[in-house]
Amino acid sequence: MKLLRMKPGHGEIVLAEGDVEVPAQEQELIEAFRRELDAGMWAAVPSETAGGRREAELVKSFAEVPRDAERVIFFPRAAGGAPGASL
Amino acid sequence: MALALGTGAVVLVVLVWELMRPTLAHTLARARHVWALRTSAGAGSYDPGRERRAEQRARALLRSCVDEHDWSMYRDLGFLRVWGALADRNGGEGAAYAYLIYPHKPIVAYVPDTGELLNEYCVAFPDDSKPYGSSRLPHSDDVLAKWMALTADERRLIGEANMHLPGRQIDPERVCRDLARLDRWEQQRAQRSKLGRHGNVRAA
């Protein structure tokens, strides 16, 4: 499993990577996960429905992440309002 | 004689030192200033390729998350359509409403059957750590963040957004043109797919 974070001026960076079946690596993943949530990030797990449609799932704790998930993507939490330029 | 010469030499050295001191001090200060500028420039210098590389990474990530149809839509048209899921539980094609996601622009809700624009949802994902001086994600990361939040928890994202009537930030005519482009694009894609299938049948 990889924990990725979107970053301005860079694109995504890999925060942690490991096998959830290996306790030490899982612990590292959990700690990295908590750090990001504490920093105010949202965490999403990209997935695919049984019908083949791609979607994502927002998770609030590491326990909610499916064990077979390949990636968790962190991104800054949504805030209302956007720059005012017109298209 | 030797004493006089020695004294004269010492006086000469002192005089020369006194004359040179302001110039030396000035040169040293300038060298320090230039060094400081170079050091700070190395740490946070403008890199014209950084944003482009960031966007390339973001596009690759977006492509790996959405399906092929959506990726092609974004690549060809510059926006993504997400079907609304709150009105009917299934969502998906044929939903009562849908959203257009533009990079760093409000999300636009509309009625697919009529093309009527419903609302603009102003939402951003500012990264306050500003790693390279900006809090804005690359364009494709912004689109992916909106897509993930909408498909995962539409109600939550819409709840966080500021809702406005159409036309507040995005020109409604522009959106109507985009909807027409989307329609044409999907028709052409369907035709190509049909032709491809016929071709395969003939080849078989």
Chain B interface mutation, best of A3, A7, A60, highest count of B Cβ atoms under 10 Å: A7
Residues 6 or more apart whose CB falls under 8 angstroms from that of B153 comprise A58
pLDDT per position as a tens digit, B104-161: 999 999 999 999 999 999 999 999 888 888 889 999 999 999 999 999 999 999 999 9
Please report the pLDDT score of residue A86 as a whole number. Answer: 43
Residues of A in contact with B108 (CB under 8 A): none
pLDDT of residue B160: 92
Q: Please report the ipTM that was assigned to this predicted complex.
A: 0.91
Report the alpha-carbon distance of residue B127 to residue A7 in Å, rounded: 8
pLDDT tens sequence across B24-42:
787 777 777 666 655 554 4
The span from the CA of B116 to the CA of B124, in Å, is 24
Considering CB atoms only, which of A44, A46, A80 is closest to B160? Answer: A80
Quote the minimal CA–CA distance from B203 to chain A in Å. Answer: 28
Residue with tokens 């939402």: B123
Judged against a pLDDT cut of 50, whether residue B87 lies above it is answered with yes
Q: What is the pLDDT of residue B195?
A: 82
For residue B60, pLDDT over 70 is answered with yes
- What is the SS3 assignment for B177? helix
Predicted pLDDT of residue B89 = 47
**B105 closest CA partner among B92, B120, B94, B93:** B120
How confident is the model over A21-77, as pLDDT tens digits? Answer: 999 999 999 999 999 999 999 999 999 888 888 999 999 999 999 999 999 999 999
pLDDT of residue B118: 97
DSSP B136: P
B148 Cβ under 8 Å from any chain A Cβ: yes
Please tell me the pTM assigned to this model.
0.79
B200 has a pLDDT exceeding 90: no
Q: Is A73 in Cβ contact with B148 (below 8 Å)?
A: yes
3-state secondary structure chain A: CEEEEEECCCEEEEEEECCCCCHHHHHHHHHHHHHHHHCCEEEEEEEECCCCCEEEEEECCHHHCCCCCCEEEEEECCEECCCCCCC
Cα separation, A20 vs A66, whole angstroms: 10
Cβ pairs A/B, distance under 8 A: 144
A46 CB neighbours in chain B (<8 A) are 64-65, 148
Q: Does B138 touch chain A (CB under 8 A)?
A: yes
CB B131 within 8 A of CB A9: yes
For residues B127 and B20, give the distance between their C-alpha atoms in angstroms, rounded to a whole number.
Answer: 53
Q: Compute, in degrees rounded to 10, the torsion defined by CA atoms B10, B16, B22, B28.
A: -90
Average pLDDT score over residue span B89-114: 87
Structure-token match 């306050």, residue found: B128
Q: Which residues of A touch B124 (CB under 8 A)?
A: 78-83
